Amino acid sequence: MHLKSIGHSTFRRHARSYLEPAVIHKWHAFQESEFEHLRQRPVKIGGDMRADSPGKVLPLRKKYGSYSLMNLENNNIIDIQLVQSNEVGGSHNMEKEGLKRSLELLESKGVAIEYIVTDRHPQIQKFLRERSTQHFYDVWHFEKGLSKKLDKISKDKDCAVVKKWQRGIRNHVYWCATSSSTGTEKVAKWTSVVNHIQNKHTHDNPAFPKCLHPVRQTTDHKKWFQPGSKALFKVEKLLSNKRVLTDVEKLSSKYQTSTLEAFHNIVIRFTPKIFYISIHWLYLAAMHFNENAGRTQARTTSGKLRYKVLFPKAKKGAHTVKAMKTQATYCYIFNMMALLFEDIVPNNQPYVEELQKVPVPDTLASQYEHPPLEEAIAAYVSRFRQGEV
């Protein structure tokens, strides 16, 4: 059709000169405003990492780790750190480094932390313990790991009764965390489940001496665990081991990191894992998420709340009900366009300088010795070459 359009190199030049500086400036302006508000009192934050593997990379060989920090009181993303694996000696160190950088930023801005909620990553536990930072665990991550082990036990011979109690034990995890005010109370309620599944509803622990539900006469004795059975031995060993009890004591009673998981789903829309990403796209995703984090539940024309039924893969055919939210808004885009055309296009030099201050790590290939091209070509032998080699 003989239509002229810009090429990729031209687009990248425009992006580096105008679009990316607009995103960086807008994000930094938001952060300064947020930090000024957070300095007024200690904050409750949640943190989690999302690993990115550009192209077809083995699961354990992650290139990027984007660590996100959220203000749990209003669900705003307040910081994102993009860590490359070769900066920290391997992908297994990326999560700790991302959290370390975020906490250092908060400290430099004068923001005090009341406590932080994360998953049970061992390096994070040790790091926060050495910093004397109060640390709680996300309930969903704990329950997920426990459910996998219970599911494995339920498939053993003479352990079919475990299958009937999996959902109840999962619910018990959340109830212990949300209904308790101290770690001792959480542990007392948690250990009571071993008696409860045997149809015993009084307990030796004075912190929780008996079950709160009304006692009813059972008509189905097969649904209870039998004393001395293989199923009871395995389940009691799992639920009462030292590490599980320690983790239950530190479960978060109020705030969780489920909203952070929702943010990671938003990030995938802006920067899929199979592509090389840039910090600008993460900031853009955070601005979109922050603007829409407080959306209310949608209603029908008659005023009824709207829901939808989903069939998550993890539930293996079971359904779940999810509340539908109102339509997302995109005011951050219009504000950025105003900044772009009114300020950056007339004089982009200060904004480009701000962009250039963002640290960019060396590529993974930079750690290896690069031979001259001629030598590499001369030494190259195709596996499909015919004849003598």
Mean pLDDT of 188-197: 94
pLDDT value of position 375 = 86
Residue 267, amino acid: V
- pLDDT tier at 58, thresholds 50, 70, 90: very low
pLDDT value of position 186 = 95
288-318 pLDDT, tens digit per residue, is 999 998 889 999 999 999 999 988 887 777 8
pLDDT value of position 378 = 84
Mean pLDDT of 318-329: 89
227-283 pLDDT, tens digit per residue, is 989 999 999 999 999 999 999 999 999 999 999 999 999 998 888 877 777 888 999
Q: What are φ and ψ of residue 14, in 5° steps?
A: -65, -40
Is residue 160's pLDDT more than 80? yes
pLDDT value of position 61 = 59
- pLDDT tier at 73, thresholds 50, 70, 90: very high
**What is the number of other CB atoms lying within 10 angstroms of the CB of residue 239?**
21
Is residue 11's pLDDT more than 80? yes
Cα angle for residues 157, 160, 165 (degrees, 5° grid):
145
Q: Name the helix (H) or strand (E) containing 291.
A: helix 279-292
What tokens does 212 get? 């709160």
- pLDDT tier at 222, thresholds 50, 70, 90: confident
Residue 361 DSSP label: P
Mean pLDDT of 147-171: 91
Residue 210 DSSP label: B
pLDDT value of position 86 = 83
Is residue 364's pLDDT more than 80? no
pLDDT value of position 173 = 94
- pLDDT tier at 365, thresholds 50, 70, 90: confident
CB 51 within 8 A of CB 62: yes
Residue 341 DSSP label: I
Mean pLDDT of 124-147: 93
Q: How far, in Å, CA of 36 to CA of 29, rounded? A: 11
pLDDT value of position 287 = 96
Is residue 60's pLDDT more than 60? no
Which of 47-61, 82-96, 102-116, 276-290 has the highest average model confidence (pLDDT)? 102-116
Report all structural domains of the chain as residue ranges with CATH numbers, in order of start: 9-135+256-293+325-356 (3.30.420), 140-249 (no CATH)
Mean pLDDT of 223-228: 90
CB 205 within 8 A of CB 191: yes
The total number of residues shown for the chain amounts to 389
What tokens does 367 get? 């750690």
- pLDDT tier at 87, thresholds 50, 70, 90: confident
Q: How far, in Å, CA of 192 to CA of 202, rounded? A: 8
Alpha helices per DSSP H over 197-312:
230-239, 242-249, 258-270, 279-292
Q: What's the pTM value of the predicted model, to 2 decimals?
A: 0.86
